[in-house]
Structure 1
């Protein structure tokens, strides 16, 4: 049986955190390979590192629809929460437009609800809380997508493995090989529940990152600090604004 799979999104769907010779693999490719044990799969990964919802709508959606997918993953929005261009109205419009077009093309949607990234990254509460509030805004849009178009979705906040260090690569922003395998396996189980039968992706990592403080320090010096520097234009002012807003809200609640 022939099956078409299109993957839309950002760096997690690109596969960053799960290196293989020649590039990245990631959960979407792992799932496609597992589907290939029972189907003749045509896999189209359109995800781009750093993408926000508007990028998926303007740069990935048309090619995904042209692929005429039976399954289409739409997992994006975390980058939006960390940008100074944050616009909840635009995010909802972009995600709903993408979901409607993909569903209208005949695809079963594959989506997610996001966890508290700030907790995993170890942000102080004054920054973690407002960022978590933004993530929840994105999650509510995905709730609307799911209510309107169905499909399968994974609630990452309910997955205990997401809270473990081994689930994450050294940057704590992207899943490790083990994390990508866990995502692919979980989506595979959901597809089994929809009546699709194939060999589930393996959960045993073949290599990759083993967490240790030495590796974390080396990454922070070689990669983490330069990344923060590149993003400082957005993250610096954003962090200040979020912290001030959070403090004002806290004071209002105390005085209420």
Structure 2
């Protein structure tokens, strides 16, 4: 049954889920306890736009997983503004106490957006590793994401510097490499073709994704998860 909102644009968007696609892909998935850790992206901060689902992509993935396995338990610990070290300090213990078998980790943008990230990148990777490894040892399938990277961020304040996009690209490459090294289920959105198709992916703040970007992210995660079981 179609949701109450008008999803006409999303249904026609080649990068989004087709009607019934998630149900087919996730049928008989094994996960029962899904936790999300990270920053504003993990929290699901978005700006709804007409024609697209209004929820952030972590909640959308939860909805699709729960539709295939009723009774799925879900905990989203994401909080805007946090750097990787803060996510580690404030969320890891709570996530482990939840006893997840699926964990989505999305953070690092608040580290990369600030000047000087290049000198801190190794430390950021080390802290990400310290966040991911305990979840894996506890039996969780860990999912990581390299977030969308725009060619430019004209609405960002001057103090962030003209190299903002370059630093975000660097984060994307390093997150993808770290995911390969750690064996996570990884979704690389940093080079997604939707970035160059003239469609708007950011909200009015010029940084966080709008409804379309979250719809695309949800589709990519669902499709990647379907290959993980």
Please indicate, yes or no, whether the TM-score normalized by the shorter chain is above 0.5: yes
Where is the helix percentage greater, Structure 1 or Structure 2?
Answer: 1
Task: Map 1:1-256 onto structure 2 (within 5 A).
Answer: 3-18=32-47, 25-39=55-69, 40-83=71-114, 86=117, 87-117=120-150, 119-121=152-154, 127-128=161-162, 130-163=163-196, 164-195=198-229
5+ residue gaps, structure 1, are 196-256
Distance 1:117 1:77 in 2: 16
Deviation at 1:117, TM superposition (A): 3.8
Higher radius of gyration, 1 or 2: 1
Deviation at 1:48, TM superposition (A): 0.4
Q: How many residues align?
A: 190
1:77-102, Cα deviation, whole Å (9 max, x unpaired): 11112335742232122101001111
Distance 1:57 1:33 in 2: 26
Distance 2:147 2:44 in 1: 17
Instruction: Indicate how the Cα distance of structure 1 residues 143 and 157 shifts in structure 2: closer, same or farther if over 3 A, else same.
Output: closer
TM-score (norm 2): 0.72
Report if aligned partners of 1:18, 1:180 keep a CA contact under 8 Å in 2. Answer: no
Distance 1:131 1:84 in 2: 8
Deviation at 1:60, TM superposition (A): 0.8
Match of 1:216 in 2: none
Compare relative contact order (CA 8 Å, sep 6+) and give the higher one, 1 or 2.
2
Instruction: Indicate how the Cα distance of structure 1 residues 16 and 171 shifts in structure 2: closer, same or farther if over 3 A, else same.
Output: same
Deviation at 1:174, TM superposition (A): 1.1
* RMSD of aligned residue pairs (Cα, Å): 2.8
TM-score (norm 1): 0.65
5+ residue gaps, structure 2, are 1-29, 49-53
Match of 2:25 in 1: none
